[in-house]
Structure 1
Amino acid sequence: MVSPLDHKLLRDLWRMKGQAMAIGMVIAVGVGMLVMMTGLVTSLNETRAAYYERYRLADVFAPVTRAPDRLAGRLAAIDGVRSVEARVIGGALIDLDGIDLPVQAQAVSLPDLRNPRLNGVFLTDGRMIDRDRTDEILLLQSFAMAHGLRPGDRIQATMNGARRGFRIVGLAQSPEFLYTTAPGELIPDDARFGVIWMSRSALAAAYDMEGAFNEALLSLTRGANPAAVQEAVDRILIPYGGTGAYPLADQTSNRFVSEEISGLEAAAAGVPPVFLAVAAFLLYIVINRMVQSEREEIGLMKAFGYTNTEVGGHYFKLVMAIAIGGALAGCLMGIAGGRALIHIYIAYFKFPFLVFQLDPASFVTGVSVSILSASVGGMLVLRSVFALTPATAMRAPAPADYSRTGKMGRALNVWLDQPSRMVVRRITRQPGRMAGAMIGIACGMALCVSMITIYAGFDRTIDLTFNVIDRSDVMVSFNQDVSETAIFNLRRMEGVTLVEPVRHVPAILRNGRNSHRGVVTGLAPDARLNRALDNDLAEIPLQKTGIALSTALADILKIRPGDMLTVDVRTGRQPVLQIPVTAVAQSLLGAPAYMDLAALNRVLREPNRVSGAYLSIDQVHASAIYTKLQDMPTVAGVGLKSQAEVAFQTLMNTGAGAIRYVMGAIAFVITFGIVYNAARIAYAERSRDLASLRVIGFTRAETAFVLLGELAIVTLVALPLGGVLGYYLSFSIAAGFSSELYQIPAIFDPASYGFAAMVVIGAAVGSGWLVKRDIDRAELVSALKTRE
């Protein structure tokens, strides 16, 4: 049998269904985002782990210049090594019809008589290669799809300076190439970098590697010490040109996939609590005002013998009904959203199969946190319920004191009409309630500001990277470090207006226990095409005896200007250098380190060496320049900045970056819910007063103005406060989106604040229209009756 209090609970829920649904939606959004994003992270991690295990991705990679095959046995004998795969790899240039620029590729060998022990391939179309046919290859599926290539097609590729013809017999994927970038580049582009798999014997012949290998792959036993294994591998391979073994964590594809998933994890941990906190605040306001408006009903219930616990439990049930309903709806929204988005992420990460798995802990966490946050707000309100005695509660509240308006109020009365004076009196009579509504709307404004600022931050990253820092047209990379004679050859080309040499030196950068595997970039003095800039976008003069680190790299290494940096060079003689940090540079793409080119060559004892060049060209001669570059035997690859910019834009609009659009849409929905709740709460409190105004002769427009004028003033006052809150909130959200691949700045963009203000004002106008409609439809007799 349903008790009278439960009957009242159902009637209260029905009467405030609009507010309850709006608050429940705020809770649902927070829980839904938590469930969705946690499910995405769990699914991606499980799929990645299953993919790596099924196709035996190596635990350690050991590049070497040239090592005899017999060393594979010595590597396999190292304590902690489970299996070893010695292979041949090399750079290639693919010539495609209709494309002026040669496309860079990596050629990878497959064993002749068996499947590879490590780094297997997943055949998506066609068949495997025949070892007796040296012209047969497998091609990376994403690259083939970007260029419309199928099994049976033929392509031309330049390998080790010789042009060869190949027939595609199959398309493949590999866990080693989830994230594919050309050497020296950071931005993935399926159309600009491919992978070719060939038989070991054919590829060894092409690169003069018969009886030798230039990369060893190792898998480790459970409990093995990776650092000890890498040291042992280095001792064996360094005499043969080993450049240092590195773990799977530092493998390019895995590192950036991990960064993208970590970005999702950060967003999953930081964003939903913001929405749940807003929901708890709204519940507190709603229930607090409801208790104040039902003083007489509370007193009557206590007079009839209901205890404080029973009365408090009634209002606590109301809070729990909204919170639990919103949490359950959020769980369903999270499941639906996760299932809708997981296929996008699977395609983005190039996984060949899907292991979709929701994290049960996210459901428990989402429901528990929503109930806990609602309970905290509810308990604060219930204190006032317990404090009310029947005699106090059933007594009418003290009349409003308007004397606090003082001389200002009397001065305003001269200029304001009666409805306007009512609005001013309401605000000055109950400043606490007005402050609560203002803070709620300011929270909505802050959410909008932070998300729109993030949109501007993404645009800022692209603009700074490709229009301010990098002002070149073409990036040329060489097969190996060459003399500066190659730069003079580039300058003599017709149509080349400016050439700047550059050298990329692989190294491990260390500061105490903090380390980073990256490259040191040597720039020409007074560089104009690719520059190191400070936070004010002023050029940083590179010192002859120092190194400048990007902001991201300085944060990774926890280092400041003036500190000494250990640079463990992984090429040539492989010296270990101690170089002072002289500056921190603004860089939003990657984590570069800059040195003066001459100074870098000097400390390496390799004068006049370069590994690439930045070019500014006359577009009229572009096609002829590309043809000449393609014919130069020292050129390993040519990249266009315009193509890189398009690829980077695509990268940031997919994967973890795409979630910003979902969060932005949710922020706008939440903002409307907050403003609508403020309007509905005010209307619920003053419905009898508004009905009384209609009875004594106020028009519908004048009656609505009394209520909506209050909402307008509160909204306008909340805008600057929300702007300040949004400014600081944007820093935490920007940090969640930033990764080692790219950094998103939190910037002050007046247009973002203006647009966010328009969103809040629009929400206020829409909410006001909905509330005015209810005011116009109100039945005066029913509104004037005492409830319950």
Structure 2
Amino acid sequence: MISIAAVVAVGIMVVLTMRGTYNSLELSRSLYYQQSRFPDVWANLERAPLSLIQRIQNIPGVAVADSRISFAATLDVPSIDVPALGQFVSIPENHRPLLSDLHLRQGRYITSGHSDEVIVSENFALANEFIPGDTLRAVINGRLKDLKIVGTAISPEYTYAVPPGALYPEDERFGIVWMGEDALGPVFDMDGAFNEVILTFGPKADANRIISELDRVLEPYGGLGAFPRADQLSHQILESELEQNRSMGTVIPVIFLAVAAFLLNIVLNRMIATQRTEIAVLKAFGYSNIEVGVHYLSFAMVAVMLGTLVGIGLGIWLGGEMVTLYGDFFDFPTLRYEVSYGLIGIAVGVSAAAAAIGAMGAVRRAVQLPPAEAMRPEPPARFKPGLLHRLGLERLLPTAATMIVRNIERKPFRTTMSATGVAFALAILVVGMFMFDSIFYMMDLQFRMAQREDMALTFNSPLPRSVEHSIRNLDGVTKVEPYRFVPVRLRSGHREHEVAVTGLEAGTRLRRIISADGRQHPLPPEGFVISKYLATDLNVSVGDYVSVDVLEGQRIKTTVQIVGIVEDFFGLSVYMQLDALNRLTRGARSVSGVFLLVTDGYESRINKKLKGLPAVASVASPAQTLASFEKQLDEGMYISIFFMLGFSGVIAIAVIYNGARVGLSERGRELASLRVMGFSRREVAILLLGEQAIITIMAIPVGWIIGYGLAAALTLSIQTETFRIPFIVSTATFVYAALATIIAAVASGLLVRRRLNRMDLIQVLKTRE
């Protein structure tokens, strides 16, 4: 019963950990969004007068509309040798923001009349050891300005703060800087104007109609397209994590509780078979079927009770640890593990139901047993020749192997269910480990094959192509390749998307387009190469044309042919040759940044020079990004694999140990007789444990198949607009999963062997028939 209780405990633990973490994150997020008045819609534009905000406020369905100024600028952080990027966001000096309010962590709010006061994001301050009272130097609109940090804060818009074009937070080099709107407006030529709108919906608002109307209002002012909360990056990442927790908290407990039900069925059936006489006596003395059934059902409930007590304790502890871990990734004002009595009740109720289902067949057998029949020993089972006998292969096997195979063939249901339980244990390991195969493969393609540059420079605004020559003249720079980003709106029928077209040079070597299968995709002279996800969303294929609205400069409207579709991993990508993109926009030959190849050892010198250039907004190093990412991934991977090993080990040991224990109980007299006849302990152990070994071997390929299928389903379920992982399961994952299962089987075999060695031969042989 202990092994069954362990399986139940893990099932309850996973429910309380995953679902409890989900509930805690969801509750914390909802309260945070509500208290900070998190917007429902965002819209960026070039420039509009403040008077326009009243017109936006009057759109039917809009509850509150607010304007603000938002720009990226270079920050000079003494502790790092590369330019840092600051996202400057305006806030009112005289009152708190109407929407997306800040939660102060240290210091105070800005005051009116002090144009140099700023509040910075908490993680940026911690990473660079800034405290209130320190000075932050920034290059704002080409001018160096000293800013006084008066506080640190978090914002619901940046619970997961990722710099533009990055995959995960880089707190040292990216921060949010909130500055008074009266101070920020003049330095960005936004005095009496704004370039971003945020708003919330009223009751029963039509979101699509409001967004369409907002786009129409902002179009004359360089509107870049409004987007809803569902497309806001930080919210999207948090929502994806919540969904994954919810799914795992449903699927894994089902597997564990199904295994527990199966084990209970086996154990109780064996118990009833060995207590036939006792059941007959109880019925003869007047005990009713219900009383007998409740008696045996109580054994199942005892296992559930033990598992419940342990599972609740472990689940609450592990849930608290999980929430603490999430607190390192997501910024909430308060984040603590909250487990409700309702969730505990559901977990216990489902576990009890699973136990009852597993026990029901055995209990029914007990209550339906007539007393007169139960007084007699159970008649021997009727067997027929097995497959090996019919094929004439039994003579080729040793006697012990023949006995093992016969026992397996004579109990197909138990064998199948035992193998299925072990297979699911292995499948859980495959699912837990394949994700790292996919991520490592994706990182290898992204950082070693696609991003071949040593450094990527992004400018504050597009610059003429002549900037390439200035960068090329820096000591240590061996190759320079320009690129350009142009925001556009793509339309195909009634479908549309706002994306950025990436312009690359023909024959680019430093930034290549690599598909998910590792093949390089060349850029044709004209037309778009787009990501498969975007092509599916727009319902277009190669050869189709899409309508293009350029959202900057002359705001050209035209059509462009789709000349290629590439399966990639991040965002909604659109690529075009740089010269073709410049012709499309009918503007000057400008670039948004450059990719650099540099001589080893020169990176630090180049960074110092770039740090003093006002035009350079940020400098990224793919090698450093990959190293940091792999460090974080390794830490998370070991924790995940540890828990997956524990989960699958509990199932494997429980199934194999119970199978061997039941076999020992059923065949105790037979095995004792063999010992008396001269069989050694080792030979008797082979007969008993060989059956479990064959079941384990049978389960391994089945577990691979189940794990492969579950991994494929999980891959499809987490494909989003911002992030997609390839479906990669390495041979090593299959091997490690099989080895872990075999180790669990060996461990349970040693436990049974120990019990077998201690068997009292005289007592067993005294057993009445």
> Same fold judged by TM-score > 0.5?
yes
What SS does structure 1 have at the residue aligned with 2:258? Answer: helix
Partner of 1:487: 468
- CA, structure 1 residues 79+334, in 2 after alignment: closer, same or farther (shift >3 Å)? same
- Cα distance, 1:478 vs. partner? 2.0
- Cα distance, 1:147 vs. partner? 1.0
User: Does the 8 Å contact 2:445/2:518 carry over to 1?
Assistant: no
The question of 1:397 aligning with 2:383 is answered no
Correspondence 1:546-565 to 2 at 5 A? 546-554=527-535, 561=542
Correspondence 1:707-718 to 2 at 5 A? 707-718=688-699
Q: Which whole-Å deviations, capped at 9, do the CAs of 1:752-783 have from their partners, x for residues lacking one?
A: 11111211111111111111111112223333
Of 147, 158, 165, 2:139 maps to: 158
Counterpart residue identity of residue 65, structure 1: E
* In structure 2, C-alpha distance between the alignment counterparts of 1:507 and 1:49, rounded to whole Å: 33
* In structure 2, C-alpha distance between the alignment counterparts of 1:642 and 1:99, rounded to whole Å: 16
The question of 1:326 aligning with 2:292 is answered no
- CA, structure 1 residues 415+22, in 2 after alignment: closer, same or farther (shift >3 Å)? closer
User: Does the 8 Å contact 1:598/1:607 carry over to 2?
Assistant: no
User: Does the 8 Å contact 1:451/1:667 carry over to 2?
Assistant: no
Aligned residues: 768
The question of 1:630 aligning with 2:605 is answered no
What SS does structure 2 have at the residue aligned with 1:116? Answer: coil
* In structure 1, C-alpha distance between the alignment counterparts of 2:630 and 2:497, rounded to whole Å: 26
- CA, structure 1 residues 88+704, in 2 after alignment: closer, same or farther (shift >3 Å)? same
The question of 1:351 aligning with 2:332 is answered yes
User: Does the 8 Å contact 1:102/1:630 carry over to 2?
Assistant: yes
- Cα distance, 1:708 vs. partner? 1.6
The question of 1:272 aligning with 2:260 is answered no
* In structure 1, C-alpha distance between the alignment counterparts of 2:390 and 2:177, rounded to whole Å: 81
Partner of 1:137: 118
The question of 1:685 aligning with 2:666 is answered yes
Partner of 1:506: 487
Q: Which whole-Å deviations, capped at 9, do the CAs of 1:417-476 have from their partners, x for residues lacking one?
A: x54443344334444433333232222222222322233223223222222222222121
Partner of 1:63: 44
Of 494, 499, 513, 1:532 maps to: 513
The question of 1:95 aligning with 2:76 is answered yes
Of 264, 278, 287, 1:283 maps to: 264
Structure 1 stretch 619-628 or stretch 766-775: which is displaced more? 619-628
- Cα distance, 1:553 vs. partner? 4.1
Correspondence 1:771-786 to 2 at 5 A? 771-786=752-767
What SS does structure 2 have at the residue aligned with 1:703? Answer: helix
* In structure 2, C-alpha distance between the alignment counterparts of 1:247 and 1:549, rounded to whole Å: 23
What SS does structure 1 have at the residue aligned with 2:22? Answer: helix
Counterpart residue identity of residue 676, structure 1: Y
* In structure 2, C-alpha distance between the alignment counterparts of 1:326 and 1:556, rounded to whole Å: 47
- CA, structure 1 residues 193+324, in 2 after alignment: closer, same or farther (shift >3 Å)? same
Structure 1 stretch 274-283 or stretch 698-707: which is displaced more? 274-283
User: Does the 8 Å contact 2:476/2:606 carry over to 1?
Assistant: yes
Structure 1 stretch 660-669 or stretch 492-501: which is displaced more? 660-669
Partner of 1:743: 724
Structure 1 stretch 336-345 or stretch 139-148: which is displaced more? 336-345
* In structure 2, C-alpha distance between the alignment counterparts of 1:140 and 1:706, rounded to whole Å: 67
* In structure 1, C-alpha distance between the alignment counterparts of 2:535 and 2:419, rounded to whole Å: 41
Of 405, 417, 427, 2:408 maps to: 427
- Cα distance, 1:219 vs. partner? 3.2
Structure 1 stretch 256-265 or stretch 324-333: which is displaced more? 324-333
What SS does structure 2 have at the residue aligned with 1:209? Answer: coil
Counterpart residue identity of residue 41, structure 1: Y
Q: Which whole-Å deviations, capped at 9, do the CAs of 1:714-734 have from their partners, x for residues lacking one?
A: 222322222222222222234
Counterpart residue identity of residue 398, structure 1: P
- Cα distance, 1:571 vs. partner? 3.4
Partner of 1:225: 206
Q: Which whole-Å deviations, capped at 9, do the CAs of 1:601-630 have from their partners, x for residues lacking one?
A: 444434634322322222322233223433
Partner of 2:683: 702
Of 722, 746, 749, 1:768 maps to: 749
- Cα distance, 1:162 vs. partner? 0.9
User: Does the 8 Å contact 2:421/2:655 carry over to 1?
Assistant: yes
What SS does structure 1 have at the residue aligned with 2:601? Answer: helix
* In structure 1, C-alpha distance between the alignment counterparts of 2:337 and 2:457, rounded to whole Å: 42
- CA, structure 1 residues 138+405, in 2 after alignment: closer, same or farther (shift >3 Å)? closer
- CA, structure 1 residues 290+544, in 2 after alignment: closer, same or farther (shift >3 Å)? farther
- CA, structure 1 residues 765+185, in 2 after alignment: closer, same or farther (shift >3 Å)? closer
Of 183, 203, 220, 1:202 maps to: 183
Correspondence 1:609-648 to 2 at 5 A? 609-648=590-629
* In structure 1, C-alpha distance between the alignment counterparts of 2:509 and 2:366, rounded to whole Å: 71
Counterpart residue identity of residue 116, structure 2: D
Counterpart residue identity of residue 60, structure 1: V
User: Does the 8 Å contact 1:152/1:167 carry over to 2?
Assistant: yes
Counterpart residue identity of residue 14, structure 2: M
- Cα distance, 1:105 vs. partner? 0.6
What TM-score results when the alignment is normalised by the length of structure 2? 0.89
- Cα distance, 1:509 vs. partner? 5.0
* In structure 1, C-alpha distance between the alignment counterparts of 2:341 and 2:494, rounded to whole Å: 36
What SS does structure 1 have at the residue aligned with 2:522? Answer: coil
- CA, structure 1 residues 527+207, in 2 after alignment: closer, same or farther (shift >3 Å)? same
**Which structure 1 segments of 5+ residues have no match?**
1-19
User: Does the 8 Å contact 2:437/2:729 carry over to 1?
Assistant: no
User: Does the 8 Å contact 2:53/2:66 carry over to 1?
Assistant: yes
- Cα distance, 1:35 vs. partner? 2.6
* In structure 1, C-alpha distance between the alignment counterparts of 2:330 and 2:93, rounded to whole Å: 29
User: Does the 8 Å contact 2:490/2:548 carry over to 1?
Assistant: yes
User: Does the 8 Å contact 1:284/1:377 carry over to 2?
Assistant: yes
* In structure 1, C-alpha distance between the alignment counterparts of 2:761 and 2:494, rounded to whole Å: 74
User: Does the 8 Å contact 1:523/1:597 carry over to 2?
Assistant: yes
Partner of 2:430: 449
- CA, structure 1 residues 381+90, in 2 after alignment: closer, same or farther (shift >3 Å)? same
What SS does structure 1 have at the residue aligned with 2:315? Answer: helix
What SS does structure 2 have at the residue aligned with 1:155? Answer: strand
- Cα distance, 1:544 vs. partner? 4.8
The question of 1:673 aligning with 2:654 is answered yes
Structure 1 stretch 270-279 or stretch 193-202: which is displaced more? 270-279
**Which structure 2 segments of 5+ residues have no match?**
none
Counterpart residue identity of residue 674, structure 1: V
Counterpart residue identity of residue 264, structure 1: N
User: Does the 8 Å contact 2:457/2:619 carry over to 1?
Assistant: yes
User: Does the 8 Å contact 2:319/2:337 carry over to 1?
Assistant: no
Partner of 1:7: none
* In structure 2, C-alpha distance between the alignment counterparts of 1:141 and 1:53, rounded to whole Å: 21
Structure 1 stretch 352-361 or stretch 775-784: which is displaced more? 352-361
User: Does the 8 Å contact 1:324/1:370 carry over to 2?
Assistant: no
The question of 1:30 aligning with 2:11 is answered yes
Q: Which whole-Å deviations, capped at 9, do the CAs of 1:270-327 have from their partners, x for residues lacking one?
A: 3332333333333344444555555666666667776666655554444444346535
What SS does structure 1 have at the residue aligned with 2:328? Answer: helix
Q: Which whole-Å deviations, capped at 9, do the CAs of 1:211-270 have from their partners, x for residues lacking one?
A: 222223333333333333334433443323232333333333223222322332333343
* In structure 2, C-alpha distance between the alignment counterparts of 1:258 and 1:584, rounded to whole Å: 28
Structure 1 stretch 431-440 or stretch 192-201: which is displaced more? 431-440
User: Does the 8 Å contact 1:446/1:726 carry over to 2?
Assistant: yes
Question: What is the aligned-residue identity percentage?
Answer: 37
* In structure 2, C-alpha distance between the alignment counterparts of 1:182 and 1:355, rounded to whole Å: 27
Counterpart residue identity of residue 747, structure 1: I
User: Does the 8 Å contact 2:528/2:560 carry over to 1?
Assistant: yes
Partner of 1:5: none
